[in-house]
Chains A and B, each alone.
Chain A
Amino acid sequence: MLRRQSQGARLGLELLAGAVVGVLSGALILVGALGILVGFVTPFVSMAQGARQLPEHYRRMMVAWTGIAIDTPYRPAPQPLVPNDEGRYRLGRRLFTSYEMAAQIQQAGHLLRDPATWRDLLWLVVVQPLATAVLIGAPMAVGLSGLLAVTGPLLSSWPWWTPAVGVPLVAAYLSITWWALRVHGRVGALLLRPTSKARLTRRVQELAATRAHATDAGAAELSRIERDLHDGAQARIVAVGITLRTAERLFESDPATAKELVAEARTTAASALRELRALVRGIHPPVLAERGLADAVRALALDAPLESTVHAELDGEPEPPLAAAVYFAVAEVVTNSVKHARAQHLRIELAHRDRVLRAAVSDDGVGGASPVAGSGLDGVRRRLATFDGKLVIDSPAGGPTVVTMEVPCALSWRKTSISFGPA
């Protein structure tokens, strides 16, 4: 208990120091903003950008110290400028020849328009110093005077009874520190977290992006399936028909050739079936439909040309579209390990806890996996984003690699599994 109080006191000191730095950096932004009026853009951009570090630090520390989570509210950076046909950069109605100039002005506009910039500023120069003075400074002054009163008779010529006043003061200070810190955090959160409008805007952007990807991917997938059917199974079945028709005509006149043709038709039908089977696996693996996600992942591991272990404990089954997305995500990560990691062993874990489905694939390979744009892992990230899922890759050079996928979802009905033992 006392440890927590003394920690509260120490963190209070940190906030006191932060208050001074905060007021200064807030003042710098204001100076920078004034600079814009006389045509200096760069100082404002660098100061406003730099001044975000302090609130960011505060957000990180608050969640670490007190568990009060304050999300980052800043709008995503604007799209990089691209030159037009004449090599100039358009910004609103103005054209710029210099990229640096245009980019700075774009950035300044972005910062000026982001309400978080001004909320940060208000916090830095007004709320934060006030809150720190009232919640941290004042109690600390009380605590310090209490300490003086306790040590007074020993260190100087204070009357003998002053410790009797000092001890309650110190105790009062210590008992208030933790509470004061939390109040500080709550007050800070009022300004430093995203406004509900900012949150909604960001959510809409996310949804628009993932929806665009989902529909693009869906359309691309359908046209691939159409092409595969058209050039593959469909063409082969046409060939079967023609061959059978020819055989039919030859049955009387040339039975030997007719027999050969029928055999040929059978072989062609068999290869059409093989193609359809491969195609079906790519659309929706049959084992997923028959057994559900956990067993489909087990079947996947059995087919992988690596030593693999699977730990899959699910009390039910996610909705089919999500199960398919997670299945294909795991399949892609496994393929990645097999192709690039030079791994000996593969471990797949699948669990559902706190309404989050978590799949982790680890290998003992060479590491260095990264989701560069267009790569398989990038595809996995996008596929999961449609379901608000996340992909985290931990793959230092030299390995090992752990790829974790998390998707929020509920599990519904249960599919019975008759597997036994680790796969």
Chain B
Amino acid sequence: MRVVLAEDLYLLRSGLNRLLGSYGFDVVADVESGPQLLDALLQYRPDVAVVDVRLPPSFTDEGLRAALAARREVPGLPVLVLSQHVEQLYARELLADGTGGVGYLLKDRVFDDDHFVDAVRRVADGGTAMDPEVIAGLVTGGSRRAPLAQLTPREREVLEVMAQGRSNAAISTQLHLSSSAVTKYIASIFGKLDLPPSDDDNRRVLAVLAYLRGS
């Protein structure tokens, strides 16, 4: 799997490079600025890009903007954005085109390499990987809406893990539930939120995220 990596701090860049390499990813380019990232994305068309939000030369959200610009050129280009802080504002922008293949995680998540690599693969496959903090914010922010308030605490837990983009199997491992219980909870959540049921994992997650964003 071919990866473009954008991170301006050398230590982090080489650490990520090594980590991805050890899991069998092929890092085709590692860049350290916004313009370089955009060039690399358009030139290599990687299977997935791992991008730091803040990059030189402006040290603003250069990485995010380059990633969004590349996705406008190459619709659905999978991008996993890493940041020292998560903002719902950025999550909305990443999810706005509704096509999936996006991830948005705190840099801390790299500490847990299994989870992190799983997230990279999910994004490369067109899925989503949203940081638990983003999802928690979305659920809290939306909890004034009546349908969300109707969810049982357990259903809310399932909803939060599902909205991060995890598969049924991952949900059942994380919450110690049987896979049939997970299926049941999800059906009930979709019923309460009045969302069309879907067998496709990815479409399911996007529907839930769109719902939580209130659009």
Contact = CB atoms under 8 A, between A and B. Distances in A.
A240 to B, nearest CB: 12
Which one of B61, B65, B93, B137 has the highest number of Cβ atoms from chain A below 10 Å of its Cβ? B61
Interface string B132-170: 000001001101100000000000000000000000000
Contact of A290 (B53, B143, B215): B53
A166 B141 CA distance: 77
B121 interface: no
A415 interface: yes
Interface stretch (B11-19, B43-51, B84-92, B202-210): B84-92
A287 B89 contact: yes
Contacts of A398: none
Contacts of A299: 87-89
Contacts of A291: 60-61, 89
A257 to B, nearest CB: 20
A24 B69 CA distance: 77
B201 interface: no
Interface string B9-53: 000000000000000000000000000000000000000000001
B50 to A, nearest CB: 18
Interface string B169-207: 000000000000000000000000000000000000000
B108 A274 contact: yes
Given A274-B108, A418-B93, A419-B93, A287 B87 contact: yes
Interface string A288-321: 0111000100110011111100000000000000
Contact of B111 (A270, A289, A304, A418): A270
A423 B108 contact: no
B85 A303 contact: no
B62 to A, nearest CB: 8
B80 to A, nearest CB: 18
Nearest to A304: B141
Contacts of A307: 144
Nearest to A420: B96
B96 to A, nearest CB: 7
Chain B interface size, under 10 / 10 to 19 / 20 to 34 / 35 or more: 20 to 34
Which one of B53, B68, B88, B215 has the highest number of Cβ atoms from chain A below 10 Å of its Cβ? B88
A67 interface: no
A95 interface: no
A274 B85 CA distance: 9
A413 B83 CA distance: 25
B63 to A, nearest CB: 10
Interface in A272-288: 273-274, 277, 280-281, 286-287
A416 B60 CA distance: 10
Contacts of B84: 277, 280, 286
A280 B89 contact: no
Nearest to B89: A299
Contacts of A306: 144
A289 B84 CA distance: 13
B69 to A, nearest CB: 9
Given A287-B87, A305-B141, A418 B68 contact: yes
Interface in B108-142: 108, 111, 137, 140-141
Given A269-B111, A303-B137, A418 B65 contact: yes
A287 B88 CA distance: 11
B212 to A, nearest CB: 12
Nearest to B62: A290
A113 interface: no
A305 B140 contact: yes
Interface string A50-81: 00000000000000000000000000000000
Interface string A318-344: 000000000000000000000000000
A400 B176 CA distance: 47
A270 B108 contact: yes
A203 interface: no
Nearest to B65: A418
A10 interface: no
A266 interface: yes
A418 B89 CA distance: 10
A287 B87 CA distance: 8
Contacts of B83: 286
B59 interface: yes
Contacts of A289: 59-60
A273 B60 CA distance: 20
A415 B141 CA distance: 27
Given A286-B54, A287-B89, 6 more contacts: A280-B84, A286-B83, A291-B89, A299-B87, A303-B88, A416-B65
24 contacts: A270-B111, A274-B108, A277-B84, A280-B85, A287-B85, A289-B59, A290-B61, A291-B61, A295-B89, A299-B89, A302-B87, A302-B88, A302-B89, A302-B92, A303-B137, A303-B141, A305-B141, A305-B143, A305-B144, A307-B144, A415-B60, A418-B65, A420-B93, A421-B215
